[in-house]
Amino acid sequence: MPYLRLALDVPLARLFDYELADADASAVGKRAVVSFGRRALVGMVIEVADSPADAGVAIKPVEALLDDLPTLPADILDLLQFCADYYQHPLGQVVHTALPGRFREIAPYRVAPACAYQAVDADALLGSLPKRASLQRRLAVMLAEPCSEAQLRAESGSAWRLVQAWLAQGQLRQVALSLALPQPVAGPALNPGQAAAVAAITQSAGFACHLLCGITGSGKTEVYLHAIAEVLQRGLQALVLVPEINLTPQLEGRFRQRFPGVEIVSLHSGVADGERATGWVRAARGEAAIVLGTRLAVFTPLPRLGLVVVDEEHDASFKQQEGLRYSARDVAVYRARQAQVAIVLGSATPALESWYNAEAGRYKRLALPQRAVAGAQPPSWQLVPTRRQHLADGLHAHTLGAIENRLARGEQSLIFLNRRGYAPVMHCSECGWLAACTRCSARLTVHMRERRLRCHHCGWEERFPPACPGCGNSDMKPLGQGTQRLEELLAQRFPQARVLRIDRDSMRRKGSFEAALKTIHAGEVDILIGTQMLAKGHDFPALTLVAVIGADSGLYSADFRASERLYAQLAQVAGRAGRANKPGEVLIQTDFPEHPLYQALLADNYADFAATELAERKLAGFPPYLYQAVLRAEADTLAEAMQFLQGAVALAPLDEAVTVWDPVAASMMRLANRERAQVLVQSGSRARLGAFLAGWMQALRAERAAKVRWSLDVDPLEL
DNA sequence: TCTCCCGATAAC
DNA sequence: TTATCGGGAGAT
């Protein structure tokens, strides 16, 4: 009797055997419904074996082998196994984080093959339409020839509804989809730098990792589009990863416009379950030519993968911060190597890990030195020294003057402050009391409009205390600057100006962010106040001033990655200024104008910054010169968490190539009433660290940690 | 003696 | 993770 070895979505690092008469190797990669304990689960067949792995247990039969989905191909199974091993995560859970949630349900999931649509009688259809219905008439003309769903949707948002209606009326019929690539719309001519980059990418044979470095406006997207066009012409598929959901609709629009008629699948957490599952199936069947998505898209099966692109590769959102803590960028590199295809990592400010790989010759650096739009000027940077200066509620007179200037010229200004709320804390000037979260080791942020104090870490909320709990003083003041306060201040200062604040609080409602972007584009805003929400990827042609407030906090942080992040963030937000032919100006208010980070930014010299930063990391023994992993634990008390970690350290295998540090309280020690601590492990050898972790996790899983929740984070971004 | 809650344990 | 089992504490 053959046995199916299944990966099940349970936190156990092992597979489970079930028997199935006349099963053969073709079952591998299919879903199976089984009874597990007392419940029914859907598992993934990983192996078919002649005998059970464990002779001592009674083996249940498979209830059903589902044949509804494309079989998970060997390369994806290998990829998932790699993730399970590398991140020390149970394979069953890896499988289920990698697949659309819909596939965890027992019901079969069927997707009709993608097809094209064509008018039964194009002339009759056109004749039946009113003269004024221009969209309908346009569609009718298109439908004389077979059109893909993507092509029709690209024509207009309401096109698909019309097509459905005509289909129901029998005006249209479904025809087989042609996989031949329609001619892409020609893009703008490439400048020499872009052309060289495209050539390097498309001419590389087999696996090659290209680090595409170019500031905002240097035309990285155009390089991607050209490289993808070449791949599509060879009948291959492209995988494109972007950091944020916010950015996908924009980019998707650009892709659809450039590749009309090409099936493009968009995969991210904002896509409804069913649509995600359908997109996955289309990609896996080879019907979709382009998969565009956030980190979860990295696991999509692509039988004819020809190119991988990771845009803004330095972005922290490529690293999942819970469950399977994978780095989609690193997994993407693995995938490209596996498929022996080129991968492009694009960024203006590459992660120092990637930069280091380029220095070492493992990645090929492609630089885009020029701005793509001829005549566009790079922004001019200016540091506004604020030490011992009088500031009007945090804004320097020079900054205010610059804003006034834009107002007079009818241009837009952006004040960038990465701190939402009114003020970061409520303060008693009598006794020095600060409002703190009772559940976290964090301050409560002041939200003036609602007159509430909020914890931005756990979501705790309370009303303003009527008097200081420390001394009874009733005169408590918000301390420091937040975006709300800045908004209030600027509205007072410039009563004639239209001020718009963009942060997670003001953009909570669905669609409000899109609406805000529209307002900005329509020129109905004079002064924008924004957090990092606004820093990424959006073009504002009328924006000519970016003023940065409160950046200094990233300079002297305990986190060794803080300056890297600060540089990236400032470079990114500066890119919002002056994208059209109006030169942009960037002002940074700082107490430390002489700081090398700012000096490198002013000189637009990331190479210098990276070299300095890497030298420091080498000296201090930080990544990328070492590989790290963190074992985190949380419990009701710090003592329990620490005790667990001490036990864990005692269980650690001995390896002179691996350093195991003492347990310490986490930097945010208390979070939502749980106390947290961690152990850092590092090694100069990735292989040794991996082997060490495998042994350690095996030993640790054999222990039962009653009240402690723990997890391992390999290549952590934050310690 | 009954019931509820918590911790331990198994899951193929 | 989910589901069940059993022991102990307090209620009836």
Per-residue pLDDT tens for A244-281? 777 777 888 899 889 877 889 999 988 899 999 999 99
- CA of A9: nearest nucleotide by C1' is C1
Task: Answer yes or no: are the C-beta atoms of A82 and A40 closer than 8 Å.
Answer: no
Band the pLDDT of A375: cuts 50, 70, 90: low
Closest residue by Cα to the C1' atom of nucleotide B9? A704
Q: Which of A56-65, A179-188, A397-406, A522-531 has the lowest mean pLDDT?
A: A179-188
* Residue A709 beta carbon within 7 A of nucleic strand B: no
Band the pLDDT of A579: cuts 50, 70, 90: low
Q: Are strands A461-463 and A476-479 parallel, antiparallel or unpaired?
A: unpaired
Residue A515 CB burial class (10 angstroms; 0-12, 13-18, ≥19): exposed
Of the candidates A44, A95, A82, which has an alpha carbon nearest to the alpha carbon of residue A65? A44
Residue A441 CB contacts under 8 Å (≥ 6 apart), including other chains: A668, A669, A670, A671
Burial A581-620 (b: 16+ CB within 10 A, else e): ebebbbbbbbebbebebbebbeebebeebbeebbeebeee
**Greatest Cα pair distance in chain A:** 84
Closest residue by Cα to the C1' atom of nucleotide C2? A39
Residues (421-480, chain A) with CB within 7 Å of strand B atoms:
none
Confidence check: pLDDT of A425 > 70: yes
Over residues A302-311, the mean pLDDT reads: 97
The arrangement of strands across the sheet holding A380-385 comes to A380-385, A585-590, A543-548, A412-416, A527-530, A499-502
Distance A705 CA to C10 C1' (A): 28
Distance A41 CA to B9 C1' (A): 20
Band the pLDDT of A303: cuts 50, 70, 90: very high
- Report pLDDT for A523: 86
Q: Which of A323-327, A525-529, A552-556 has the highest mean pLDDT?
A: A323-327
Q: Alpha-carbon distance A367 to A17, whole Å? A: 52
Length of chain A as a residue count: 719
Of the candidates A117, A120, A235, which has an alpha carbon nearest to the alpha carbon of residue A177? A117
Question: What would you report as the CA-atom Rg of chain A, rounded to the nearest whole angstrom?
Answer: 28
- Report pLDDT for A310: 98
* Residue A511 beta carbon within 7 A of nucleic strand C: no
Q: Would you say A83 is a known binding-site residue?
A: no
Distance A94 CA to B12 C1' (A): 19
Chain C positions with a protein C-beta closer than 7 Å:
1-4
Over residues A297-313, the mean pLDDT reads: 97
Q: Alpha-carbon distance A480 to A154, whole Å? A: 47
Q: Which residue has the higher pLDDT, A66 or A170?
A: A66
Q: Which residue has the higher pLDDT, A459 or A571?
A: A571
* Residue A38 beta carbon within 7 A of nucleic strand C: yes
- Report pLDDT for A607: 94
Percentage, residues of chain A above pLDDT 90? 57
Chain B positions with a protein C-beta closer than 7 Å:
7-12
> What is the value of pTM for the model shown?
0.92
Confidence check: pLDDT of A548 > 90: yes
Q: Alpha-carbon distance A411 to A290, whole Å? A: 38
Token reading at A643: 């005790």
* Residue A37 beta carbon within 7 A of nucleic strand C: yes
Band the pLDDT of A446: cuts 50, 70, 90: confident
Q: Alpha-carbon distance A341 to A338, whole Å? A: 8
Q: Which residue has the higher pLDDT, A46 or A393?
A: A46
Band the pLDDT of A374: cuts 50, 70, 90: low
- Rounded to whole angstroms, what are the CA distances from A439 to A381, A444, A640? 42, 11, 17
Confidence check: pLDDT of A152 > 90: no
Q: Alpha-carbon distance A39 to A242, whole Å? A: 38
Q: Would you say A147 is a known binding-site residue?
A: no
- Report pLDDT for A372: 62
Q: Which of A419-423, A455-459, A613-617, A664-668 has the lowest mean pLDDT?
A: A455-459
Per-residue model confidence as pLDDT tens digits over A379-395: 889 999 998 877 777 88
* Residue A52 beta carbon within 7 A of nucleic strand B: yes
Residue whose entry in the numeric block shows the structure tokens 């993507």: A150
Of the candidates A181, A102, A121, which has an alpha carbon nearest to the alpha carbon of residue A148? A181
* Residue A39 beta carbon within 7 A of nucleic strand C: yes
* Terminal Cα distance for chain A, rounded: 50
- Which residue pairs from A122-127 have beta carbons closer than 8 angstroms and sit at least 24 positions apart in sequence? A125/A166, A125/A171
Confidence check: pLDDT of A373 > 80: no
The arrangement of strands across the sheet holding A290-293 comes to A264-267, A290-293, A237-241, A305-311, A342-347, A208-214, A364-368
Over residues A616-631, the mean pLDDT reads: 96
- Report pLDDT for A506: 82
Q: Alpha-carbon distance A715 to A466, whole Å? A: 46
Q: Alpha-carbon distance A250 to A296, whole Å? A: 19
Q: Alpha-carbon distance A153 to A181, whole Å? A: 17
Q: What are phi and psi of A501, to 5 degrees?
A: -100, 130
Distance A157 CA to C7 C1' (A): 63
Q: Which amino acid is at A471?
A: C
* Residue A18 beta carbon within 7 A of nucleic strand B: yes
Confidence check: pLDDT of A312 > 80: yes
- Report pLDDT for A580: 60
Closest residue by Cα to the C1' atom of nucleotide C3? A38
- Report pLDDT for A304: 96
Q: Are strands A31-36 and A64-66 parallel, antiparallel or unpaired?
A: antiparallel
- Report pLDDT for A180: 61
Q: Alpha-carbon distance A75 to A166, whole Å? A: 41
Of the candidates A611, A555, A586, which has an alpha carbon nearest to the alpha carbon of residue A350? A611
Residue A330 CB contacts under 8 Å (≥ 6 apart), including other chains: A715
* Residue A3 beta carbon within 7 A of nucleic strand B: no
Band the pLDDT of A179: cuts 50, 70, 90: low
Q: Which of A6-15, A384-393, A476-485, A574-583 has the lowest mean pLDDT?
A: A574-583
- Report pLDDT for A461: 86
- Rounded to whole angstroms, what are the CA distances from A120 to A8, A171, A175, A667? 48, 6, 11, 67
Per-residue model confidence as pLDDT tens digits over A6-23: 999 999 999 999 999 999
Confidence check: pLDDT of A182 > 70: no
Percentage, residues of chain A above pLDDT 70? 98
